[in-house]
Structure formats: C-alpha cells, structure tokens
Chains A and B, each alone.
Chain A
Amino acid sequence: MSAKLDKLCQNLRDVLGQRIGSLGVDRGEVTLVVAAADYLEVATTLRDHPDLCFEQLMDLCGVDYGAYGEVAYSATNPAGTPRFAAVSHLLSLTHNWRLRLRVFAPDDGFPVVDSLVDVWNGVNWFEREAFDLYGIMFSGHPDLRRILTDYGFVGHPFRKDFPVFGHVEMRYDPAQQRVVYQPVTIEPREVTPRIVREDNYGKVDDRG
C-alpha cells in the first residue's frame, strides 16, 4: 500500500512541480495543499493527466479553521493562517487511489475560491453546501444558492462563531395569527466542555 502512495506522491511531484503548496502523507492518506490561484488548473491536471487520472470527486466540504486547537472561536487569529478552506476528496478508478485536495481562501472577510464545477460536474451541490454553511464563494459556479438552510436564512451556520443554538427562533403568534421569528430564548448549555489537552494526552498504544 505504501509503495502505491509513494508512487502517487512521486507522480504528483513530477506533474505538478512548483504548483504544490505542500504534500503530506498521514495515516495512509495523501493530502495536497495548493494556492487559490493554481486551484482550478491543478484540478484539471489531476483529472486529465494519465499518471493521476482522478475521474471522480467524491466529496467537497468547507472547513473553518478559526478555532483549531482552541477552546472556542476568537476574532483574533493567532496563527495568521487563512480561516476558510475547501477540502475535496478525489478518487481515481483507474489507479485505485485517493487524494485530499485542500485550498485556503486567501481573504477571511470574503472567502473566494474557484469553482470546480466544469472539472467535475458533480461538485455543484457540494459547493452550494459549502457556500450555504460557511459562506465560501465559488467563482464560476452557475447557481450558487443556499441549499440546506431555510429560505431567507441569515448567516452561515457552520462557522465557528455561529452559536449552535442559532440567533432566531420561530413560534406561532396568536395575536398576529401567523408565525413570527424572535431572538432565541433558550439558554446555551454545555454538558461536556470542549477540552484540548497537552500533546500526547489522548495518545494510546495498542495495550492501553
């Protein structure tokens, strides 16, 4: 298996050259990070080059790295790295290997990356979902509407600064005889707090 991964990494280095932002192998999976400017071009190469041949895009999702390794999201970004990324998982049926492709959106305030919809048509709804939940814009997408949230929803609910309880709740108002929105009345409650321990705390060997 690892010989196969080595070959994939070698092929990626040969074909992509300078356009590789970083390339890593972890737990039997290859991750390729590229710059937003090269994203579309790299994706097309990954699909078409006979040594890579990624015919299928299995998954694309947005990720908000704004609270990574922290207890909660804070507006000051200590690491200085971009906050939003689009992560896609590619599959090659010809070579039977997988690749994770990550691209960071350069601007945290208005995250934009290219749309892959012309490379893999199936990515259409995944990008709509990432837009809906994280507010990542995909330039070149033909139909970037919200997909999962309600009609008229405000905000991007999967961002780390969006509370899990939301901002508004809906109820029936007997006086107006219709459904109204109002600010949430439930108290946020956390049973098990999020704890980030020091390094190696959760590390287990096979015996335990």
Chain B
Amino acid sequence: MAEIKNYTLNFGPQHPAAHGVLRLVLELDGEVVVRADPHIGLLHRGTEKLMETRSWIQSVPYMDRLDYTSMIINGHPYCMAIERLLGIDVPLRAQYIRVLFDEITRIHHHLFNLGAHALDVGAMAMVLYTFREREDICDILEAVTGARMHQAYYRPGGVYRDLPDRMPKYEVNKFKNAQTVKELNAAREGSVLDFIEDFANRFPAYCDEYETLLTDNRIWKQRLVGIGVIPPERALQLGLSGPMLRGSGVEWDLRKKQPYEVYDRLDFDIPVGVNGDCYDRYLVRMEEMRQSNRIVKQCIDWLRNNPGPVISDNHKVAPPSREKMKGSMEELIHHFKLATEGMHVPPGEVYAGIEHAKGEFGVYMISDGANKPYRVKLRSVAFQNIAALDEMARGHMLADVVTIIGTLDIVFGEVDR
C-alpha cells in the first residue's frame, strides 16, 4: 500500500467562500482536516492606534467600518463607553432610537449572514431573497442618516438627529414607468416610522419564505446538521458569545442579563439551540430575526407617542444646534471648542459591552483626561469566533470548513480592525 502523507492546502485569501480576506492554511489527511491555521490581518488598518491620534468624536465613523454588515450597532458600545466615562445621561427617546436601529441592523446582519452562508453551502437563490429585504433596510438607514453603509449615527450623548417625517420616493425615469413607481411608493407615502412599520409587518412572511427554502431542505440539513459541534463547556472556554454560545444551549444574552438602554422595558425571547451544531445556530439566528422584529414594533409604538430630544443638551459633549449656534455667543464657543480641540473626557477606564448581532462586542477605553483616547481596545466578536475555527474544523471534511466559516459569521473589517 502506498504511503500517504498529510499535505497542506492554502485556502484564500481571495476565495469567494473566505468571506473577505481570510487565508486559511489547512493540513489535510486525504479530505479530512487535521489542522486549520487561519492567517488574519490582511485587512488590518490599525483602527485602535488611529483612534489614539483622533479626538473622541472623530473616531465615531471608524466604528462603522469595523463590521460593515451591521454598521450602526458598532458605534453603540463606543458611545456608551464615552458616556460612562463622562457620566452623562442619554435622552430616553435617543435610547429607543438606538434600540430600534440596533435591532434593524441585527436583522440586516443576519440577512447578510444567512444569504452568504447559504451561498457558500450551495443554495444560490437565498442571497437574492435576503438582499431584497436588505435593500429596504438600506433605504431606511439612508432616509434617517443620509448614508446606506457607513452612517456614524450614534454620537456620544445620543443620536445625530431625530427620525425624519418623510421617506424618499422613487421617481419616474426611462426604466420605471408611472405605474411601477406608484406601486413602489405605496409604502413610502408617510414618515420613516411608517415605512419601518410597514417593513416590520411584512418581515415575518419573508422569514417564512427563507424557512421554506432552507429549514427542511434536505441538502441544507445534510450540510449543516452535526457539523462544527461545540459543547457548551467548550463554548465558554473558547470565549464565544452570541448565537455561537446560545446555539450550544447556554442561555446568555446581554440584552436580558445585563440590560442596557431600554431593553429591560421591552418584551422579547432568547432562542437557544440544543446540539450546538451549525444547523442549531442557523435556527437560533432565524428566530433572533423574528424577535428583533418584535422589538422593532414595540420601539415604533413608543417613538410615535413620545417626542423629545434625541441628544444630550450638555454642549461640552454634544454640539448645539446650528440655529442656537448662530444666535448665542456661548453656543458658538461650545461649537468652536468641540470642532477644534474636541471634548475632554475625565481620566479613568471603562468597558462597555453590548449584544451585537454576532455576540458580545465590547469597547475598552482608557482616558487620561486628554482630548483623545489613551487606549481603545475593540473586543471584536468575529476575532474570537475565528479563533475557534481550528477546534471546530478538526476531523471534518474540506467542504465542511466552508460551512463552518459561514456559521462563524466572520466579517473581516471586524476581525482585523
């Protein structure tokens, strides 16, 4: 019998299933993975070092560029950390808006992940359906913040501005006639909140559609059931969080256990898995989308009935309105100081963690009283997830590695920072 030795295979960094720029060095015995060594850092931009050279407010846009599939929510722990260091309160309406957009981006993130994951595994059609809904979410984000992708919407002290009263509409052009435009604009006649509500009412039916395509799909189950099993004790040891931890049956969600903003006033459930395999994590994410939708509806109801300020009126932290600035000397000085020197944050250190779509996303911040952070550490979820890849992939076939990469939910902007 011929002697067969293990061989190494290079996977990525330009492989379509590598979710960006993952270079994976696989040691294989035939088709079985003996060792997987992820090489990361190909997208390393040194965000944390850059933040040390920028004033506190200038780093807000960097946060969106971490996990570029759930943009707004990334800014949340950063702003929370600054608010805790300063000891300022966020207006209640801003807290509701933050929760609303956290959940909208959670849906956005899970849609993105679900589409990409299914695409990796071979269900080509999924990504077309999930991106159809993603388009609506991008429209919401654009209407509210002005940007589809990188919003920089959360600011220390609140959010940049209140929800607008009108939703942008389609216009007739040579590709769309009056009839089509009328249909497309049907949901866009009212305010942004009306459009979000319309989306939230439509969304459960979309989830059912995805489930018809995947949940009982024979190929999907053959590719996912029993793959990448993590027992709960290993999940804890490996520092996993979010759906990766809940898929293994550990009921842990920061929104419930250590509530921040207004999550303690909202009604939602935490789905958990049983077997800890890729299929259970898929089910957890599906259910999380439905739960997020419930939260979105509750936030809409509250926001309709409770107008108010959306950013702190402490002008040492948040700039005054343009109108006030033009009329008052004091506000002009505040604006000038904020725009040139930036705010000063009292010395101290703080760790703010939130339940990101992927798990616990945290910001550890040290301030020495300057107008720039002394040290910012971004506790990225995907970084920790991909560290578990080696353990999960061992003993599986080469094709299963792709399934595992999909379930790990990695986004390289966040892994490499």
Interface of A toward B, CB cutoff 8 Å: 26-29, 31, 55-59, 61, 63-64, 67-69, 87, 89, 93, 96, 98, 100, 120-125, 129, 146-150, 157-158, 164, 190, 192, 194-197, 199, 201-204, 206-208
Contact = CB atoms under 8 A, between A and B. Distances in A.
Contacts of A195: 341, 344, 370-371
B48 interface: yes
B49 A192 contact: no
Among A96, A100, A192, residue most surrounded by chain B Cβ atoms (within 10 Å): A192
A121 B360 CA distance: 17
A84 to B, nearest CB: 12
A194 B370 contact: yes
B369 A121 contact: no
B369 A206 contact: no
**Chain B's interface: helix, strand, loop or mixed, by majority?**
loop
B353 interface: yes
Given A89-B362, A192-B341, A56 B371 contact: no
Contacts of B366: 63
B250 A93 contact: yes
Interface of B: 40-41, 44, 46, 48-50, 52-55, 58, 84-89, 236-241, 250, 252, 257-258, 313-317, 340-351, 353, 360, 362, 364, 366, 368-372, 374-375, 377, 379, 383-384, 387-388, 416-417
B387 A125 contact: yes
Contacts, number: 142
Contacts of A98: 351
Given A56-B236, A68-B368, A192-B340, 18 more contacts: A61-B364, A67-B374, A100-B351, A122-B239, A125-B383, A125-B387, A148-B40, A148-B417, A157-B46, A164-B49, A192-B342, A194-B53, A194-B370, A194-B371, A199-B369, A201-B344, A202-B371, A208-B313
Given A89-B364, A148-B44, A164-B53, A27 B369 contact: no
Contacts of A57: 239
Contacts of A100: 349, 351
A104 B189 CA distance: 60
Contact of A197 (B58, B239, B316, B344): B344
A27 B350 contact: yes
A58 B362 contact: yes
A204 B88 contact: yes
Contact of B314 (A59, A149, A190, A208): A208
Contacts of B387: 122, 124-125
A35 B235 CA distance: 29
A89 B351 contact: yes
Contacts of A146: 41
Taking each of A55, A123, A148, A203, which has the highest tally of chain B beta carbons within 10 Å of its own beta carbon? A148
Contacts of B345: 202
B44 A164 contact: no
A204 B316 contact: yes
A69 B368 contact: yes
A56 B381 CA distance: 14
Contacts of A68: 368, 374
Nearest to A195: B371
Contacts of A123: 239
A124 to B, nearest CB: 6
Nearest to B46: A157
A89 B352 CA distance: 11
A125 B236 CA distance: 15
B41 A158 contact: no
A59 B351 contact: yes
Contacts of B41: 146-150
A71 B372 CA distance: 10
B325 to A, nearest CB: 14
Please list the 9 inter-chain residue pairs (A to B) with the smallest Cβ-Cβ separation, ordered nearest first.
Answer: A202-B344, A122-B239, A208-B314, A148-B41, A61-B377, A125-B387, A59-B379, A122-B238, A148-B44
